[in-house]
């Protein structure tokens, strides 16, 4: 599954307002909840915070990929947010996080969930991709960077 199948331009927040982990998850969850009327934002944030308690999704190098599973979903949903100043997210390298991909998947979709996480991680290994995300000015530019880079990977 390509990322372009689960993210739209309006799922992108070019500058997060949050100042901490909970705030980031709330902002990104709000974007996700616009797509699924049965999805409760408070419940989604709780699922994401529960996942964070198992171990941080701040994978280092200024990146976090918070994720969780929710039973009301039929298909995965993805949102993206950026903080140019960086947010203390308790990442594994203890550095501020700037780039956030939030993935929410149906409860029974372990294989697909892992496949999408792997796609995101693979894209984020590319320094040009990360630099582009940091330097883009608009959600339109960020969306184009994500979808163009995603076309080029085979996974």
Helix (H) or strand (E) holding 98, with range, is strand 97-106
Specify the CATH class of 3-151 in words.
alpha beta
State the 10-residue block means of pLDDT for the chain, 155 residues long: 93 98 98 91 96 96 96 94 97 98 92 93 95 98 96 77
User: What pLDDT, on a 0 to 100 scale, did the predictor assign at position 155?
Assistant: 58
The answer to whether residues 112 and 74 touch, using CB atoms and an 8 Å cutoff, is no
Q: What angle do CA 40, 23, 69 make, to 5 degrees?
A: 40
* Marked catalytic residue, from 35, 67, 113, 115: 67
62 Ramachandran zone, left/alpha/beta (phi>0; psi -120 to 50): left
Nearest to 10 by CA among 143, 152, 127, 122: 143
In this structure, the strands spanning 63-64 and 77-87 are unpaired
Q: What is the pTM of this model?
A: 0.95
Q: Where are the domains of the chain?
A: 3-151
User: What pLDDT, on a 0 to 100 scale, did the predictor assign at position 52?
Assistant: 96
Active site residue 67: yes
User: What pLDDT, on a 0 to 100 scale, did the predictor assign at position 142?
Assistant: 98
């Amino acid at each position: 599954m390509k990322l372009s199948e689960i993210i739209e331009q309006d799922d992108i927040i070019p500058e997060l307002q949050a100042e901490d982990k909970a705030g980031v998850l709330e902002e990104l969850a709000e974007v996700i909840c616009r797509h699924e009327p049965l999805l409760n934002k408070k419940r989604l944030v709780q699922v994401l915070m529960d996942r964070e308690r198992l171990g941080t999704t701040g994978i280092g190098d200024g990146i976090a990929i918070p994720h969780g599973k929710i039973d009301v979903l039929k298909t995965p949903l993805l949102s993206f947010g950026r903080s140019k100043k960086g947010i203390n997210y308790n990442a594994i390298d203890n550095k501020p996080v700037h780039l956030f991909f939030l993935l929410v998947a149906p409860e029974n979709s372990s294989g697909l969930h892992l496949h999408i996480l792997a796609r995101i991680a693979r894209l984020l290994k590319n320094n040009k991709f990360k630099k582009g995300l940091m330097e883009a000015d608009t959600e339109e530019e960020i969306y184009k960077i994500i979808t163009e880079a995603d076309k080029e990977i085979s996974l």
